Chain A
């Protein structure tokens, strides 16, 4: 009865002797033997009957005989010890049977001979289920990771927006201050002019007195001469004019800067009007060269004036962002060149720099909002995207080309007369303006 039972068990049971020759196989093994071998399998080495992982099987059998201790093997590490087909030959996707094996040392009660009993379990179903689960969990893990990345990106974007907002209000503040500075500059300037006149009058008086010196008596003449000398009149006369001239120059520069700041303030976007690109470019060069003194700046235009219909605020903002990038790209020595060309119904502006250039993989992303190569906290990655939006709203085009270590060219073309002027009202173009920093550092 037990023999029948063992024969029919749904696990493989085989017994081998110390030479690895087969003594017994149950139906599980027999069913998987070639038909002609089923009758005379006995006394054949197990590794010859089943040519799968022979080397491994021998090693394990040896260990069981030597140690007299059971040995295990799992499908995870060694799925197919015996070359058996899947238990689902028709419907299953597995082609080979997944197996767990256990080898136990046993003793023949009659002869006392050492034997080893091989138990083989078909775990194909378990294995395929387990593998499906594993795949699923891997997919879930991936998805989870993607979501986490997205959340991180959103977090960064949010904090950058907050920062951008702050910068915009700082810009307004700067414009306000510029306005306040304008008043004192006004009266200082007027006073300085008057002072210059007064000084020249005083010099005339002194010179006059000096030319009449001979007409005075000796005592008086000596006194006057001593007065001139003790006050260093000659030096004073030369220096006073120079000092006043220098101060006037300095004041003019302060006025320029304040004027430029005001020009870029939000309150100054008065809607669509005639804008002279040449004036804008020159203003920009003044403004940017004050901050970035390393590059040499050049302006090139055949005409005195090139006018377009547009919104001056955003247009200036766009050009400034590009210019700042160009200036920042030059670390030690180089040129930033602006050229403006009038080609009938449109104007082409080229901003060229001989700076470090932009790597190819970054080039296609530079107009993306928040794309920046600057260290965290130093750039918002908004400069070029703001420029892009502004140019687009003027129905213009903007393109960029660059070569690493050679330089970068940004080309902008805008129609002189927008086909529908109302599309470029100040309302549409109220992008947070002048203080928005630029994005891609060309490195």
Chain B
């Protein structure tokens, strides 16, 4: 059975590098969102097991998406992948229920480690 993943990032390059960094051991069913609003729409329509979320996005940013999810009962695991990794920001993100915070540029090993810790591997 494949893992349903939502990759939300306004940059195509970034989405591509996130998808490429996913460990080969699993199969994925990937949906892409190019901004926060698209992500929210996708999350409202279907259930995802995992969300890989960027913070700096137009329209609605990553924090907006987290706030949306925070108010819902049944939420997927969220791993934030952002260039803005100031301690303040990390605190906010974690308090809104994100499971992990990873820095851009994304390190393959770090992502694998996070997925392992969250029980996917």
Whether chain A touches chain B in the assembled complex (some CB pair under 8 Å): no
Interface residues of A, Cβ cutoff 8 Å to B: none
Q: Interface of B with A (CB < 8 Å)?
A: none
